[in-house]
Structure formats: structure tokens, C-alpha cells
């Protein structure tokens, strides 16, 4: 049976007067990884902004159904309740998510407290292990500025997982990382999916990353979803010329 | 045999209060004319330090640098700029934001002003002449990077030092820049040291490769040989990541 945790129907999104997304249709089933792939300016990140209710955008038409309920007409308060608890967001720059000089420990406690949840070390250990992070104690004692971009990004995933959200939105989270680090971050996302059955939407310009983790892929270009299907089909039998080009442009080892 | 560019026993350590970081440790390299040498490694492996040292942007603790067999160790960028040019990851911020491109390019040249040559070079890198009248903010990341390549050519430098020059671009734009560099290489116009964290990208462009880790060169050789038969564990790990991030089956 299909269980579409999130479904987007005929969604239009505008900055000022200009439409950045012109009638997008896509969905993701519970427990799947959906990758939204496209070049800069394709509207892929704008879709994420619409889900989180960014105030800079207008939505002239369409629906964003989360578990069957449209998010667009929600009042701020109701939306805030969903965000962070049932829907998590991680962005390209993890430094923006943390206070650079405050210990991770303190920052995690604050997050939990603001949601009226207790700080339980054992629970945290369990969660860290489940997503492949070792040395919980060391990580909690460290400060974001002391750590590499890749490590911060993995901690940002852990921070999002504190609330055990059903849906995790990831906006270009591997783009600023080198290849090896990007792989360890996508491995961590796969563990989040497998261990926590979290549904993940990952926005990326790199179809190579998508090939590594996606169950379903949406290709966006110029504000439209031009191809949307199971990952296998898109990767091995692309229908659109644009998708074929994206596939061709992923760097390949050649000797 | 004389190399176009050569570095011998390069060492550099950064000292900061109690912390010392060995950025380069006994690194040797050479570059032939018309060749592209790829340098790969993770962040912190010393790749950028190596380029800065070659360009004279930082002082080496030890080691010697040669251009066409003549030692130039200790020269400042003002002098090294006559035979080499850096191309950075963030092309946009390497241009004066208040100047239109044409003026930026003209001012970068050491010799007489030659607007006609600038127009030719801009065409060579696949841009339209009209873009010369724009300021950097009005260009896309890919366009800016092409302008940076044109600027490097205008300076008549023989060697390009490319520091993660496509890392901030999306894959499609990166592929176009790569095509451009390969064409320039085929025409014999390009000798370069190409630094990147992406071994797959390096394999598509370079003739030889140097793998760096913690300031050391852990492996060096012909690119095809290193890919077929890597001798170092770290190189194997890099290759494994690259394979996982590329699309496995060829698309028809």
C-alpha cells in the first residue's frame, strides 16, 4: 500500500512577481529517500523553502500535503510545531545551524529543553551509534569551530535526529564537502533511513550523490519537474535529453 | 632534462601558539610543458599550501623551486606572475566588484593594453563579448570562472595554478569548464597544476597525478597507472569514494 508522507501538487512558488517554480508535482513514500536534482536556479531549494514556510516566497497555487494535510494554509504557530519535531531541516552550511563557540553538549540540551524533552546520555549514545558517529562524549565536549566541515555536517544530522523527525529535509548538505567526506555524510543519511525509518528529501546538483542513496529522483530544470520516477529508471533509462546530460556531466574515473 | 616547473624537497610548517601543522613535508614535483599535473587530497592535506608556495605567496621553510631550470625560490607573486597565474575556487571575488570585466582584464596585463586580444580570449573561453561590459556580480559562477581563465591567458603566463577551480560550480557547469580546459590542452595552450579533491575529475583532465595526505605526497604517477594499480591505501580509499559517487553503468 502506498503511504505518501509528503505530496506536492501543482505547486507554484514566486519570489516577488516572478515564478521560480511553475507547477511542480512530486511525492515521497514513508521510509524512502527522494533526491531533487537540478542546476543552480532550477528551483530545487525553493521547493524546500516552501515546505518549511520561508517568508520570502509566495505560493500562488498548489498544495503541500504532509500526511494528507495541506501545509500552506497553516498558521505560523501550527507550522512551528511541525518543524523541528516532525520535519527536520539541514542546510548546506552547518556552521549556520550552530553557535561556533558553544559546546555541542550545551546546544543539544537547549534544543531538547525548548521541546520540553529530557537530556538522556544513553539515548544520545544510542542515536549517535545508530547513525555511525563514535565517541559521543568527545563530540559533546567539542565546539563547532574546532571541527571540520564534514564533522559539523554529521553533527547537524545528529541534531536534527534529536527530535526523531518523520521527514528530514536536506538542502545541498554535501556540496561544500570533498568527495570522501560527502560519502560518509550520505552513509550517515542511509543509516538514518534504515535505523529510524526516517523519510529523507535531499536536494543536490550532483546526480552522482543521488545515485548513491536515492529511491526516487525528481529532475528539476527552470522551475519545472521534468522527470520524476524511481531512481533505477531515471539513472538507467532517462527519457529526457536534459537528464541524459546531467548523467553525462557527473565526473567519472577514466584511465 | 629540464622541466617547465620543478619543486624539490618542499617543507612548510605552520606554528600557531601550541599547535604546529605540517602542511608540506618533503614534497617533490615536476611539470612538463603542455602537461596537466593533478594534485588530489582531502581538505587539510596541503594541496593549497603547495600552490601558494609555488606562486611565492608564502615562504617555504626549506626547498627549492625552478622555472625552466632556473631557481626562483623566494620570489614574490609580483615576479612569479610573469610566468604563472593562479585561478581560484571563488572566481567572483577575484575580480574588483566595481569594475566591468573589460577593465579588470586590461588592468591585469603587464604589457600594453590590447582590447582586441581580450575580445579574442573571451571568445576562446566560450563567452560572448558583451559580457565584458558587465561587473562580476552580473555574471554566473561559470561565466566568472571563464573570465578568470581569459585573464590568466591575457597575462601571458605559461603555467596555470588551478585551486579547486570547479568546486563551487554545479556539475553541468563544471563539465563545460572541463571541456574548455581539455580543448586548450589539446591545442597545446595549457600547462597547469590542477588541485582538486575529486580524483574522478582529475582523471578526466590530467596526465599525471600526485596524491597528498597530511602534507606528504603518498603516491605519484601516470593517472591511468595510479587508477589501475594504486599502491597506497589512501589512494584506494579516494578511488572507492569516487567510484561510489559516479554513475556505474554507461548511459547509451
Mean pLDDT, to the nearest integer, of A217-222? 96
Higher pLDDT, B23 or B252: B23
Please report which confidence band the pLDDT of residue B69 belongs to, taking 50, 70 and 90 as the band edges. Answer: very high
Mean pLDDT confidence for A66-84: 90
Domain count along chain B: 1
Q: What is the pLDDT of residue B211?
A: 96
How many angstroms separate the CA atoms of B179 and B196, rounded? Answer: 16
B128 three-class SS: coil
**Tens digits of residue pLDDT in B208-226:** 999 999 999 999 999 999 9
Looking at residue B251, what is its pLDDT?
A: 43
Query: Residue A90: phi, psi to the nearest 5?
Result: -125, 135
Residue B248: what pLDDT? 59
A255 in any annotated domain: no
Q: Do B172 and A245 touch (CB under 8 A)?
A: yes
**Residue pointed to by grid coordinates 584511465:** A255
> What's the pLDDT tens digit per position in A16-47?
888 999 999 999 999 999 999 998 889 999 99
Cβ-contact B136, B92 below 8 angstroms:
yes
Candidate from A148, A212, A249 with C-beta closest to B175: A249
In a domain, B117, yes or no: no
pLDDT exceeds cutoff 60 at A79: yes
| CB nearest to B242's CB, from A207, A249, A253 | A253
B130 touches chain A (CB under 8 A): no
Residue B32 lies in domain: 1-74+158-166+192-246
Query: pLDDT confidence of A1, banded at 50, 70, 90?
Result: low
Indicate whether B5 belongs to any domain: yes
Evaluate if residue B250 carries a pLDDT over 50: no
Q: Chain B closest CA to A251's CA: distance in Å?
A: 5
pLDDT at B100: 93
Neighbours of A46 (CB within 10 A): 23
E strands within B151-251?
159-163, 191-196, 208-213, 216-222
**pLDDT given at position A15:** 86
Q: In this complex, is the C-beta atom of A254 within 8 Å of any C-beta atom belonging to chain B?
A: yes
**Chain segment A119-145, per-residue pLDDT in tens:** 888 888 888 888 888 888 889 998 988
* CB-nearest partner of B203 from A205, A245, A254: A254
**What average pLDDT score do residues A67-89 get?**
90
Q: Is B221 on the interface with A (CB under 8 A)?
A: no
A37-65 mean pLDDT: 91
By DSSP bridging, strand A224-230 and strand B5-16 are: unpaired
Q: Is residue B201 part of a domain?
A: yes
Q: Does A137 touch chain B (CB under 8 A)?
A: no
- What mean pLDDT comes out for the span B99-111? 86
Is B223 an 8 Å CB contact of chain A?
yes
Whether A254 is covered by a domain: the verdict is no
Q: What is the mean pLDDT of residues A94-102?
A: 83
Q: Does B252 have pLDDT greater than 60?
A: no
For A106-115, what is the mean pLDDT?
A: 90
Query: What domain range includes position A123?
Result: 4-249
Identify the helix (H) or strand (E) that includes residue B30: strand B19-31
CATH number of residue B18's parent domain? 3.40.50.300
pLDDT in the model for residue A255: 64
Nearest CB to B227 within list A207, A211, A253: A253
Mean pLDDT of A140-162: 86
Please indicate, yes or no, if residue B110 is contained in any of the structural domains.
Answer: no
Average pLDDT of chain B is 90
Q: Tell me the C-alpha distance between B37 and B53, whole Å.
A: 16
Cβ(A223)–Cβ(A57) below 8 Å = no
CA dist A16 → A3, B43, B155 (Å): 35, 39, 42
Tell me the average pLDDT across B87-95: 88
- Residue A158 sits in a domain of what CATH number? 3.40.50.300
Which residues, 6+ apart, have CB-to-CB distance to B200 below 8 Å? A179, A251, A252, A253, A254, B242, B245, B246
Q: Give the predicted TM-score (pTM) of the model.
A: 0.82
Percent of chain A surpassing pLDDT 70: 99
A128 phi/psi in degrees, rounded to 5: -55, -50
Return the percentage of chain B with pLDDT > 70, whole number: 97
pLDDT of the residue at A151: 83
pLDDT at B203 over 50: yes
* B113: closest CA of chain A, how far (Å): 36
pLDDT of res. A13: 95
Residue tagged 565526473 (cell numbers): A251
**CB proximity B79 to A under 8 Å:** no
Please state the rounded mean pLDDT for residues B160-187.
Answer: 89
Give me the interface pTM, i.e. the ipTM: 0.75
The better pLDDT of the pair A41, B164 is held by B164
Whether B185 is in a domain gets the answer: no
Neighbours of A76 (CB within 10 A): 9
Q: Is residue B37 part of a domain?
A: yes
Whether B21 has its CB under 8 Å from any CB of chain A: the answer is no
For residue B202, being part of any structural domain is answered with yes
Distance set, CA A7 to CA A26, A27, A69, A168, A175 (Å): 6, 4, 10, 14, 26
**Is B86 a member of any domain?**
no
The region of weakest confidence among A154-163, A230-239, B227-236 is: A154-163
Beta carbons of A255 and B197 less than 8 Å apart: no
Amino acid at each position: 500500500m502506498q503511504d505518501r508522507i509528503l505530496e506536492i501538487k501543482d505547486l507554484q512558488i514566486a519570489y516577488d512577481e516572478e515564478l521560480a517554480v511553475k507547477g511542480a508535482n512530486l511525492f515521497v513514500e514513508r521510509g524512502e529517500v527522494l533526491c531533487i536534482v537540478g542546476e543552480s536556479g532550477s528551483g530545487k531549494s525553493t521547493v524546500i523553502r516552501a515546505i518549511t514556510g520561508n517568508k520570502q516566497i509566495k505560493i500562488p497555487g498548489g498544495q503541500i500535503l504532509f500526511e494528507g494535510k495541506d501545509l500552506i494554509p497553516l498558521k505560523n504557530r501550527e507550522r512551528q510545531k511541525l518543524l523541528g519535531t516532525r520535519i527536520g531541516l539541514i542546510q548546506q552550511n552547518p556552521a549556520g545551524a550552530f553557535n561556533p563557540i558553544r559546546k555541542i553538549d550545551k546546544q543539544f540540551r537547549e534544543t531538547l529543553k525548548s521541546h520540553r524533552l529530557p537530556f538522556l546520555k544513553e539515548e544520545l549514545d544510542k542515536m549517535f551509534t545508530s547513525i555511525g558517529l563514535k565517541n559521543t562524549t568527545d563530540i559533546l565536549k567539542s565546539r563547532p569551530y574546532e571541527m571540520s566541515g564534514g564533522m559539523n555536517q554529521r553533527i547537524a544530522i545528529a541534531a536534527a535526529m534529536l527530535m526523531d523527525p518523520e521527514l528530514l529535509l536536506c538542502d545541498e548538505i554535501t556540496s561544500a564537502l570533498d568527495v570522501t567526506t560527502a560519502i560518509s555524510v550520505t552513509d550517515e543519511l542511509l543509516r538514518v533511513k534504515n535505523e529510524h525509518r526516517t523519510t529523507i528529501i535531499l536536494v543536490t546538483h550532483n546526480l552522482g550523490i543521488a545515485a548513491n542513496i536515492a529511491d526516487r529522483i525528481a529532475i528539476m530544470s527552470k522551475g519545472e519537474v521534468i522527470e520524476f520516477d524511481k531512481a533505477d529508471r531515471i539513472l538507467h533509462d532517462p527519457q529526457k535529453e536534459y537528464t541524459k546530460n546531467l548523467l553525462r556531466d557527473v565526473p567519472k574515473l577514466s584511465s | 632534462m629540464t622541466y617547465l616547473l620543478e619543486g624539490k624537497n618542499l617543507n612548510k610548517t605552520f606554528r600557531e601558539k601550541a599547535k604546529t601543522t605540517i602542511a608540506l613535508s618533503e614534497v617533490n614535483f615536476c611539470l612538463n610543458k603542455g602537461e596537466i599535473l593533478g594534485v588530489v587530497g582531502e581538505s587539510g592535506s596541503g594541496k593549497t599550501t603547495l600552490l601558494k608556495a609555488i606562486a611565492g605567496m608564502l615562504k617555504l621553510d626549506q626547498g627549492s623551486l625552478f622555472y625552466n631550470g632556473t631557481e626562483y625560490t623566494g620570489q614574490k607573486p609580483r615576479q612569479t606572475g610573469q610566468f604563472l597565474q593562479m585561478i581560484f575556487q571563488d572566481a567572483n571575488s577575484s575580480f574588483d566588484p566595481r569594475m566591468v570585466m573589460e577593465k579588470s582584464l586590461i588592468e591585469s596585463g603587464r604589457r600594453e593594453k590590447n582590447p582586441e586580444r581580450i575580445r579574442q580570449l573571451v571568445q576562446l573561453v566560450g563567452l560572448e563579448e558583451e559580457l565584458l561590459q558587465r561587473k562580476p556580480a552580473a555574471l554566473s559562477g561559470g561565466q566568472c570562472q571563464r573570465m578568470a581563465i581569459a585573464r590568466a591567458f591575457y597575462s601571458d603566463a605559461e603555467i596555470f595554478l588551478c585551486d579547486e577551480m570547479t568546486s563551487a560550480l554545479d556539475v553541468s557547469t563544471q563539465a563545460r569548464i572541463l571541456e574548455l580546459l581539455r580543448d586548450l590542452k589539446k591545442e597545446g595552450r595549457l600547462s597547469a597544476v590542477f588541485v582538486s579533491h575529486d580524483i574522478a575529475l582529475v582523471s578526466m583532465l590530467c596526465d599525471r597525478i600526485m596524491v597528498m595526505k597530511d602534507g606528504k605526497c603518498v603516491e605519484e604517477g601516470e593517472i591511468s597507472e595510479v587508477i589501475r594499480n594504486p599502491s597506497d591505501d589512501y589512494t584506494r580509499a579516494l578511488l572507492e569514494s569516487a567510484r561510489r559517487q559516479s554513475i556505474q553503468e554507461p548511459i547509451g
